[in-house]
Structure 1
Amino acid sequence: MALFRKPFFKSENAGVEDEYVTGVRHLQRGDMNAASRHLVKAAEGGHASAFYNLSILWGSGAVSPYDFDAAADCWYKAAAAGHPKAQESLWLLEAADRGGFGTENLIDMALKQGKNGTFLQSSVMICAARFFDVTCKKYGATNDVIAYELDGAASSDWKFIHAFIERMGIDRSFYEGGLNRLSEGSAADQVTDGLNDLAVAMGQIGYDQNFIVMARCSIVGYIILKSPYGQHAEPLRGLDTFFK
């Protein structure tokens, strides 16, 4: 993760800077949870690079909980603090939050960025989750998308997918038969097609099926958490716990 190694910002507060440097060292050692704790402390001191790196860390699914809103908030704060990379890319997040991003732009973004090592693509995942959720709400597609996705997931042979469904806390009677509810060309149909297209793009840049499925579950889980059904759902899990 080269993005973590060259901070744009250096705090005049020695304690804040020390927290940031310690966080980066933990990142380089692969201890993402320790890195997150130290970067949070640096961010609390206003460290612009800490905000930016937290948006990457949290958006890539490196730690649990997998919190897209916290990652997006750090992206906004990094840009507001003057971080050039955050400012340069902020229009992507703003467009996603308006629901004006478009699936084609999302796929193009994923293909151009390429695979992010052993993690998911942070900006792609943040924008995808928030864009698809906004779109579902705007066109009243939330229920049909959730039912379609969970009904499809329920047919999987993979135990970790069934564990994900259980964590979402939605009764089977709600989503059973969801695969047959969509009307061709409807908003829900277009959202699920968009999720299919994103899965294909992830495969094209080298992600294996486990990562692709986790990414889709995480986006669908976010839509659930932001819906009235979210009150019964558990927080989303990062790569450190999703497959357990």
Structure 2
Amino acid sequence: MGEKLDFGARHVAIIMDGNGRWAKHHHLPRAMGHRRGVEAVRRLIRSLGPMGLDCVTLYAFSSENWKRPQDEVKDLMSLMRHFIKSDLPEFIANDVRLKIVGDYQALEPDIVAMLDDALERTADGSRTVAVALNYGSQHEIARAAAKAAAEGAVTTETISAHLDTADLPPLDLVIRTSGEIRLSNFLLWQSAYAELYFTDVLWPDFTPEHLEQALAEYAGRERRFGGR
């Protein structure tokens, strides 16, 4: 994958599902599945430029994930700290901007401080990796509608302007791994006319080649946006 590819998509979102099942299939603790999932994220970010993408949005931690066992949530937070520390230099070196979607300010104070620092240090990147943390789409839409109402008219345009993704390109493609066929409260507004792609591949096994396959299928679809 040395040459730059262009499938016509600029913004792809991924529901990274299957870490737990991957660990179970390999007779390993769930924590190991999450660690291997982080490695898949690294592979994906490195392929962002060659795939011709301007932005990828990753569903990392939903507002519903707090319901998981405390030990699992603690491990996910530890992984987040490690990822920020270890990968921030690579973001900067590869001209990648980090963006956070969701209420990340509700995370633990040291993680918030690390994320604020990473956001500032990568602000001028030419390509974007948006990470959804403590995110739920229904809550995002409600917040955006309330802000629009406080300023005046509530329209599709004013709601869109107040979404967490307002400064990102329109969403072209949503990918979900692990064989589940649902959006799970992820980018519901933004997905109105996005293409959907579901694969049985578990997230830790997802490679840039799998992303290329999804983009190739996307390129072969006819997008009508409600028209004929």
TM-score w.r.t. structure 1 length? 0.31
Q: Which has the higher contact order (CA 8 A, sep 6+)?
A: 2
**Which structure carries more strand by proportion?**
2
Structure with the largest fraction of helix? 1
